[in-house]
Amino acid sequence: MTKITDLFVRNRLWAERMKSINPAFFSSLADQQNPEFLWIGCADSRVPANEIIDLRPGGVFVHRNIANVVVPSDLNCLSVIQYAVEVLGVKHIIVCGHYGCGGVRASIDEADHGLIDNWLHHIRDVHRLYASDFTPDMSEEQKVDRLCELNVIEQVRNVANTTILRHAWERDNPIEVHGWVYSIKDGIIHDLCTHTADGLKAR
Ligand code: ZN
């Protein structure tokens, strides 16, 4: 088991390793960040943004919450999107879900999860919206994984519907919003859809 004090040791070793690869690594990052990507993903510890797209610090601006949900009343998420689009000038926003997501699974089981059920309500809305996609012959796993995909697509629409993206597209900013789903079982990302100023295109 990793102890809390071990994390400082790991940090020092990591910093040394990064400096041995590129001595100017930290000094160049200290001046500014210039990422081209905003990642909106699940808080699940098995889906670390930088690592699975193999980008070093500075490569991707990140927002994560339970089940990668984007709602227009969430000032935290909206502030991240606004800063990424209007200050950092990212070119791509990626909403990345993952198969077997515990938040998605909890949204459709019958159990009482307490406060988090209020957050998961947004995913239950997606389930209701796509009720015809869920047939009795599907296994529980298949239902969860299909809802993981549909949730990503709906959250891409939610990003696209924010005033931030609508204003960006009005200014002819060619920014794109992508919907991806990651498989924890094999580490592979699958492309589900892209939303541009012209609308949403599914893969
Ligand atoms: Zn998840």
**Same domain as 80, residue 175:** yes
For residue 150 the two structure tokens come to 């549909």
Q: What is the pLDDT of residue 139?
A: 97
The pTM of this model reads 0.95
**Same domain as 117, residue 159:** yes
Q: What is the pLDDT of residue 203?
A: 86
CA of 165 to the centre of ligand 1 (A): 25
- Tell me the pairing of strands 176-182 and 60-65: unpaired
98 is catalytic: yes
**Same domain as 84, residue 117:** yes
State the residue range of the domain holding 64: 33-202
Tell me the C-alpha to C-alpha distance, in Å, between residue 167 and each of 21, 78, 174: 41, 14, 11
CA of 104 to the centre of ligand 1 (A): 7
**Same domain as 130, residue 96:** yes
CATH of the domain at 118: 3.40.1050.10
3-class DSSP assignment, residue 196: strand
**Same domain as 59, residue 69:** yes
**Same domain as 19, residue 43:** no
Distance of CA 110 to the CA centre of its chain: 26
**pLDDT values of the chain reduced to their tens digit, one per residue, 203 residues:** 899 999 999 999 999 999 999 999 999 888 888 999 999 999 999 999 999 999 999 999 999 999 999 999 999 999 999 999 999 999 999 999 999 999 999 999 989 999 999 999 999 999 999 999 999 999 999 999 999 999 999 999 999 999 999 999 999 999 999 999 999 999 999 999 999 999 999 98
**Same domain as 8, residue 95:** no
Give Cβ neighbours of residue 34 (< 8 Å, ≥ 6 apart).
Answer: 58, 88
For residues 191 and 97, the answer to whether their CB atoms sit within 8 Å is no
Catalytic residue among 10, 46, 113, 166: 46
148 is catalytic: no
**Same domain as 72, residue 124:** yes
**Same domain as 45, residue 11:** no
**Same domain as 196, residue 158:** yes
Q: What is the pLDDT of residue 30?
A: 87
46 is catalytic: yes
Count of domains observed in the chain: 2
101 is catalytic: yes
Distance of CA 40 to the CA centre of its chain: 3
**Same domain as 117, residue 24:** no
Q: What is the pLDDT of residue 118?
A: 96
Q: What is the pLDDT of residue 101?
A: 98
**Same domain as 13, residue 77:** no
